[in-house]
Amino acid sequence: MCGIIGYTGHRPATQIIIEGLKRLEYRGYDSAGVAFCLQNKVHVFKSQGKLNNLENKLCSQEIYLTTTGIGHTRWATHGLPTEKNAHPHLSQNKRFALVHNGIIENFKELKHYLKDKGIQFNSDTDTEVLVQLIFYYHEQGKSILDAIYETLNQVKGSYAFALIECAHPNTIWAGRHSSPLILGIGQGENFIASDIPAFLNYTREVIFLEDNEIVELTPSTYQIYSLKNKKGISRKVTTINWDIQSAQKSGYKHFMLKEIFEQPKVIQDCLRGRIDECENTVLFSELENFPLPARLNIVACGTSFHAGMWAKYILEQIAHIPVEVDIASEFRYRNPLINKNDVIMVISQSGETADTLAGLRLAKEKNAKVIGLCNVVGSSIAREADVVIYTQAGPEISVASTKAMCSQMIMLFLLSLYWGNKKQLLTPNFKSQYIAHLLELPEQIETNLQIFHQKANHLAPKYSWANSFFYLGRGLNYPLALEGALKLKEISYIHAEGYAAGEMKHGPIALIDPQFPTFALAPEDELLPKMKSNLEEVQARGGKIIALTNINSKLEVDDPWIIPNFKSPFISFLILPALQLFAYEMAVYLGKDVDQPRNLAKSVTVE
Ligand code: AGP
Tell me the pLDDT tens digit for each residue of 434-482.
Answer: 999 999 999 999 999 999 999 999 999 999 999 999 999 999 999 999 9
Output the pLDDT for position 197. Answer: 87
Question: Which tens digit of pLDDT belongs to each residue from 321-336?
Answer: 999 999 999 999 999 9
Task: State the pLDDT confidence band at 62, using cuts at 50, 70 and 90.
Answer: low
Output the pLDDT for position 60. Answer: 57
492, burial (CB in 10 Å: exposed 0-12, middle 13-18, buried 19+): buried
Q: What is the DSSP letter of 547?
A: E
Question: Which tens digit of pLDDT belongs to each residue from 541-566?
Answer: 999 999 999 988 889 999 999 999 98
Kindly give the distance from the C-alpha atom of residue 352 to the centroid of ligand 1, in angstroms, as a whole number.
10
The active-site residue out of 2, 37, 301, 374 is 2
Return d(Cα 546, Cα 337) in angstroms, integer.
Answer: 41
- Ligand 1 touching residue 302 (CB < 6 A): yes
Between the CA of residue 4 and those of 58, 162, 392, what are the distances in Å?
A: 18, 7, 18
Q: Can you give the length of the chain in residues?
A: 607
Output the pLDDT for position 397. Answer: 87
- Ligand 1 touching residue 400 (CB < 6 A): yes
Question: Which tens digit of pLDDT belongs to each residue from 130-172?
Answer: 999 999 999 999 999 999 999 999 999 889 999 999 999 999 9
Element at 562 (helix H, strand E): strand 559-562
Mean pLDDT across 526-535: 96
Output the pLDDT for position 245. Answer: 64
Kindly give the distance from the C-alpha atom of residue 435 to the centroid of ligand 1, in angstroms, as a whole number.
29
Active site residue 364: no
- Ligand 1 touching residue 301 (CB < 6 A): yes
Cβ–Cβ < 8 Å for 172, 165: no
Question: Which tens digit of pLDDT belongs to each residue from 269-322?
Answer: 999 889 998 889 999 999 999 999 999 999 999 999 999 999 999 999 999 999
Using a pLDDT cut of 70, give the percent of the chain over it. Answer: 98
- Bridge partners, residue 70, by sequence: 6, 35
Which atom number of ligand 1 is nearest to the Cα of residue 490? 2
Q: Is the model's pLDDT at 500 over the cut of 60?
A: yes
Return d(Cα 505, Cα 177) in angstroms, integer.
Answer: 54
Q: Closest Cα partner for 414 from 447, 386, 437, 380?
A: 437
User: At residue 105, what are phi and psi to the nearest 5 degrees?
Assistant: -65, -40
Return d(Cα 232, Cα 215) in angstroms, integer.
Answer: 9
DSSP per-residue string spanning 117-149: TT-----S-STHHHHHHHHHHHHTT--HHHHHH
Which atom number of ligand 1 is nearest to the Cα of residue 402? 2
Pairing of strands 545-549, 518-522: parallel
Return d(Cα 164, Cα 99) in angstroms, integer.
Answer: 9
Strand order in the sheet with 323-327: 323-327, 295-300, 342-348, 369-374, 387-390
Kindly give the distance from the C-alpha atom of residue 477 to the centroid of ligand 1, in angstroms, as a whole number.
19
Who has greater pLDDT, 55 or 147? 147
Distance spanning both ends of the chain, measured CA to CA: 30
Pairing of strands 468-473, 495-500: parallel
Strand order in the sheet with 31-38: 41-48, 31-38, 68-74, 3-8, 190-193, 182-185, 205-208, 238-239
> For ligand 1, atom 9, which residue shows the shortest CA distance?
302
- Ligand 1 touching residue 399 (CB < 6 A): yes
- Ligand 1 touching residue 308 (CB < 6 A): no
Output the pLDDT for position 361. Answer: 96
- Ligand 1 touching residue 303 (CB < 6 A): yes
Output the pLDDT for position 56. Answer: 84
Return d(Cα 352, Cα 368) in angstroms, integer.
Answer: 20
Which atom number of ligand 1 is nearest to the Cα of residue 381? 16
Which atom number of ligand 1 is nearest to the Cα of residue 353? 16
Q: Closest Cα partner for 595 from 398, 402, 394?
A: 398
Kindly give the distance from the C-alpha atom of residue 349 to the centroid of ligand 1, in angstroms, as a whole number.
7
- Ligand 1 touching residue 304 (CB < 6 A): yes
Task: State the pLDDT confidence band at 344, using cuts at 50, 70 and 90.
Answer: very high
Mean pLDDT across 369-389: 93
Q: Within 40-127, where are the H helices?
A: 51-58, 107-116
> For ligand 1, atom 16, which residue shows the shortest CA distance?
348
Q: Is the model's pLDDT at 247 over the cut of 70?
A: no
Kindly give the distance from the C-alpha atom of residue 104 to the centroid of ligand 1, in angstroms, as a whole number.
29
Kindly give the distance from the C-alpha atom of residue 602 to the centroid of ligand 1, in angstroms, as a whole number.
7
Mean pLDDT across 569-589: 98
Plot region of 357 (φ>0 → left; ψ -120 to 50 → alpha; else → beta): alpha
Mean pLDDT across 513-525: 96
Active site residue 2: yes
Least confident of 62-71, 211-220, 392-401, 448-457: 62-71
> For ligand 1, atom 4, which residue shows the shortest CA distance?
400
Output the pLDDT for position 249. Answer: 83
Which atom number of ligand 1 is nearest to the Cα of residue 400? 2
Mean pLDDT across 211-236: 94
Residue from 401, 490, 605 to probe ligand 1 pocket by mutation (most atoms less than 8 Å from CB): 401
Task: State the pLDDT confidence band at 178, using cuts at 50, 70 and 90.
Answer: confident
Q: What is the DSSP letter of 475?
A: T
Using alpha carbons only, how large is the chain's radius of gyration in Å?
25
Task: State the pLDDT confidence band at 525, using cuts at 50, 70 and 90.
Answer: very high
Does this model's pTM top 0.95? no
Q: Within 84-215, where are the H helices?
A: 107-116, 128-139, 144-152
> For ligand 1, atom 6, which residue shows the shortest CA distance?
302
The active-site residue out of 84, 142, 462, 602 is 602
